[in-house]
Structure 1
Amino acid sequence: MSEAFAVARAAAARASVQIRELDTLAEMTAACALLDRIWQIPPGEVSEVRPSLLRALGHAGNYLVGAYATDGPRADELVAASVAFFGSPPGGSLHSHITGVLPGAGAGVGAAIKWHQRAWALAHGVGRVTWTYDPLIARNAFFNVTRLGARPRRYLVDFYGPMDDGPNRGQPTDRADVEWDLRSPEVRAAAAPVLAGRPGTDGPDVDALRSAGATVALAVGDDGEPARAESAGGATGPLLIGVPADIEALRRTDPAQALRWRLAVRSVLGAAMADDARRITGFARSGWYVLEGKGPA
């Protein structure tokens, strides 16, 4: 557990933030306003979370934190917030419902919150954290899989239904269900550079995998469209699935193409994740999921 707290302190120092638990209703109200701002919720619309809900979750002992800047013109300003609650099995899991970082808050703030969340969970006897993320957002996939060592386990189709916030408006809300095994070798390997003050890895070497015969099941075509490069049927080696560099920008400029990407990734990645013989083992910064055989039980 001392390792987890040391990593959390190093990540917070690197990001120039202090992670503090939200204790007062005023702090919870500020966190709700911040999350609405991040998710582009118009005034008068339904908020992502409400202060009364955070009050209840906090009273029940769940995870509510804010990240406050420690340096510069934003010193002591709330720049990020996170809400998580205990899940199943009882006493063994924490579900991270929402974590948001204010644009321009600086590098590493999201990582500082997640490493704090890991330390907090372990201190409360919890060894696993789960959450969902949009598998089409490459930066989130890279952060979750490579920077944190978490592993997506299931593909969830239109999980939240229609949402009217800025990032999700007009698009199906497909999600990947992530499991973060807080003591796993993958997580410890991801934590080591943070503790040592070194840059983390860029993820798998996709060129080397392709040279070694990996199957490309989905790629970004020259025209930006999803290109099903090869059939994954019968492939026994690593499987590569590419996603656009910035699907969020594409949703703003060409929502029809963004929807085609949603359906393509649902079809290819969803099917691959449903295959009991494969699992996601990495995500390259260049925008590729890597799936490999699970090996013997």
Structure 2
Amino acid sequence: MRFQVITDVGGIARVSAYYAEVWDATEDVLSSETLHCIRHAGGATIGAFDGDELIGATTGLFCPDGSVYSMIAAARPGAGHPLKLAQKDWAAGLGAKSMRWTYDPLVARNARFNLVKLGAVVTEYTPDFYGPMRDGVNDGDESDRLTVQWDLTGAREPHESVPGGEVTKIAPDGEPLARTDGERIWCRVPRDVVQVRKESRELAKQWRVAVREVFVDAFAEGYAATSMSREGWYELERL
């Protein structure tokens, strides 16, 4: 596996098509023109390759505070972590000390990757971040997003979340949604929200609203999300 900052016209077009394929989009997720503008402004698109095959890509740009905003990332299983580390090396090499990006709070596998694999934290919940989305993955759902903060100067030691304490809310499936031991809060999401959406859009919307209420209230009280269990439980604590 190799990683490359992509600058040529053909390579940029290939990444744009790859993003559209991953998101099952009938229109560009990020057009070639947009990717070229990001490159010209000092950002970068990094591709992951197995031989000549493109198996992942990520695009980031610099912010006025000197941090990096990672706009998008997609990769074949097994390539996501090294691709993110390649983006970290690019950002740190140019002086960035932190990176941030957003993801869907209902996607448990992304939460575990961000919080446990990378050791990042989540401190912000934004309801309907993008407004309506028309790709094959998100169509018909509100685009709530969590903001990930990743310290590039020294990774936080990740830990496994073990939910405990009193049940305070019930999820749309009739099982516990939220727990607290008085200091920490745990919030459960579906193990596979993509499958839930396929089976029942209405049930997926109920999960969206239920999880949103827990996170918005918790963040208003100064909590941050710091872990995700294999069973789909976020752990929130005051840092």
Letter in 2 for 1:114: K
Deviation at residue 204 of structure 1 after TM alignment = 2.1
Letter in 2 for 1:35: Y
Q: Measured at CA, do residues 216 and 149 of structure 1 come closer, stay the same or move farther in structure 2, by a change above 3 Å? A: farther
Match of 1:144 among 100, 114, 129: 114
1:194-221: per-residue Cα shift (whole Å, max 9, x none)?
A: xxxxxxx7x2233xxx2xxx34445657
1:244 and 2:190 aligned: yes
Deviation at residue 122 of structure 1 after TM alignment = 0.9
1:18 and 2:2 aligned: yes
Matches within 5 A, 1:219-230: 220=171, 224-225=173-174, 227-228=176-177
SS of alignment partner, residue 72 of structure 2? strand
Residue matched to 1:97: 71
1:28 and 2:5 aligned: no
1:80 and 2:56 aligned: yes
Maintained 8 Å contact 2:120/2:155: no
TM-score (norm 2): 0.93
SS of alignment partner, residue 137 of structure 2? coil
Distance in 2 of aligned mates of 1:226 and 1:256: 17
Matches within 5 A, 1:86-235: 86-89=62-65, 92-101=66-75, 105=76, 107-186=77-156, 189=157, 203-206=160-163, 210=164, 214-218=165-169, 220=171, 224-225=173-174, 227-228=176-177
1:247-274: per-residue Cα shift (whole Å, max 9, x none)?
A: 0111111110000000001111221122
Further displaced range: 128-137 or 79-88: 79-88
Deviation at residue 99 of structure 1 after TM alignment = 0.6
SS of alignment partner, residue 21 of structure 2? helix
SS of alignment partner, residue 29 of structure 1? helix
Maintained 8 Å contact 2:225/2:235: yes
Length, aligned pairs only: 239
Deviation at residue 279 of structure 1 after TM alignment = 2.0
Deviation at residue 226 of structure 1 after TM alignment = 6.3
Deviation at residue 38 of structure 1 after TM alignment = 0.3
Q: Measured at CA, do residues 225 and 167 of structure 1 come closer, stay the same or move farther in structure 2, by a change above 3 Å? A: farther
Letter in 2 for 1:184: G
SS of alignment partner, residue 11 of structure 2? helix
Larger radius of gyration: 1
1:152-185: per-residue Cα shift (whole Å, max 9, x none)?
A: 1100010000000011100000000111111234
Q: Measured at CA, do residues 255 and 236 of structure 1 come closer, stay the same or move farther in structure 2, by a change above 3 Å? A: same
1:117-148: per-residue Cα shift (whole Å, max 9, x none)?
A: 11111110000101000011000000001101
Residue matched to 1:40: 24
Maintained 8 Å contact 1:215/1:239: no
Maintained 8 Å contact 2:178/2:185: no
SS of alignment partner, residue 56 of structure 1? helix
Maintained 8 Å contact 1:80/1:109: yes
Residue matched to 1:292: 237
Deviation at residue 88 of structure 1 after TM alignment = 3.4
SS of alignment partner, residue 99 of structure 1? strand
Q: Measured at CA, do residues 229 and 77 of structure 1 come closer, stay the same or move farther in structure 2, by a change above 3 Å? A: closer
Distance in 2 of aligned mates of 1:68 and 1:266: 37
Percent of paired sites with the same residue = 33
1:253 and 2:199 aligned: yes
Letter in 2 for 1:53: T
Higher-strand-fraction structure: 2
Letter in 2 for 1:259: K
Letter in 2 for 1:94: V
Residue matched to 1:194: none
